[in-house]
Amino acid sequence: NSPIIAAASSVKFALQEIAEAFYHDTGNRIRISYSSSGNLTRQIQQGAPFELLLSANAGYTEQLYQQNKTLGQSITYALGRLVLITEKNTSLTLDKQLSAIKILTETGNLKRFAIANPLHAPYGVAAQEVLQQLGLWESIKPHLVVGENVAQAAQFASSGAAQVGLVSYSIALAPALQNRTRTLLIPASLHRPLQQTMVLLHNAGETSKLFFIYLQQHKARAILARYGYSVPEE
């Protein structure tokens, strides 16, 4: 009976492949329950049988640690990156300073700008920071459409319902999106690091512990990097 680990939906792309590799290398299967990091945290607090939590936000793992639900401290296994995303055939030029978007707001041509919910989604928080850094927050705020999570924000932007959006790099790399969108990586300096943390929960078994370690090893890090994460120094 393979252990269940909980993972934020946003790491699904990479994690799927890592789990395959893990199975290939160790012969152990894991089952993964995806949800928002917040949901998962709550479920863990209410006794969910998860053995490992991969959160998109350092706050949740910390919270669980404080509440003595974990085996030890959390570890940052990757850092998320933001990209500016737009539908393929828009004429919008994408640049790191978002000047084209600035012009749109000034000319009143910006209709909808998609981000994840800055209230609770880590990529939403980061997106807000980026916009604030660039001094665009106030002018874009009225045009925001806010996704439940970063995937939803990407859906907004990729379907053309919103002109442009700030989403995670890992999502932008999804094959279905790559064909339909153009993206531009946002400098990591424009927001606080998007720490993807993980923590072993107190009922973690051997397999989970193995996987916890596996995630910190080279093979997993390579996969993570391929899926648009910066990987912290070993």
Which C-beta is closer to other proteins: that of 55 or that of 117?
Answer: 117
For the chain, give the number of residues.
234
C-alpha dist (Å) from residue 6 to 3, 87, 140? 10, 32, 34
Residue 210 makes contact with other proteins by CB under 8 A: no
What residues does 87 pair with on adjacent strands? 181
Residue 9 makes contact with other proteins by CB under 8 A: yes
Task: State the virtual CA torsion across 5, 203, 221, 184 in degrees, nearest 10.
Answer: 50
Binding range to other proteins, per CB under 8 A, among 25-33, 94-102, 194-202, 219-227: 25-33
Which C-beta is closer to other proteins: that of 129 or that of 232?
Answer: 129
Region for residue 207 given its phi and psi (left: phi exceeds 0; alpha: psi -120 to 50; beta: otherwise): alpha
* Chain position carrying tokens 């981000």: 115
Q: How far is the CB of 152 from other proteins (least distance, A)?
A: 7
Residue 87 makes contact with other proteins by CB under 8 A: yes
x/- letters, 32..61, toward other proteins (CB under 8 A): xxxxx-xx--xx--xxxxx-----------
How many Cα atoms occupy the beta-carbon half-sphere of 58 within 13 Å? 12
Q: How far is the CB of 234 from other proteins (least distance, A)?
A: 28
Cα–Cα nearest to 124, from 162, 81, 167, 163 = 167
C-alpha dist (Å) from residue 175 to 13, 53, 149, 170? 10, 26, 19, 11
Binding range to other proteins, per CB under 8 A, among 5-13, 66-74, 200-208, 221-229: 5-13
Residue 72 makes contact with other proteins by CB under 8 A: no
- Write out the two tokens for 173: 């790399």
- Write out the two tokens for 115: 């981000």
Which listed residue (12, 81, 182, 191) binds other proteins by CB under 8 A?
12
Which C-beta is closer to other proteins: that of 88 or that of 96?
Answer: 88
Dihedral pair phi/psi, residue 91, rounded to 5°: -90, 0
x/- letters, 114..153, toward other proteins (CB under 8 A): x--x-xxx----------------------xxxxxx-xx-
- Residues within the interface to other proteins (CB under 8 A): 4, 6, 9, 12-13, 31-36, 38-39, 42-43, 46-50, 87, 112, 114, 117, 119-121, 144-149, 151-152, 154-156, 158-162, 171, 174-177
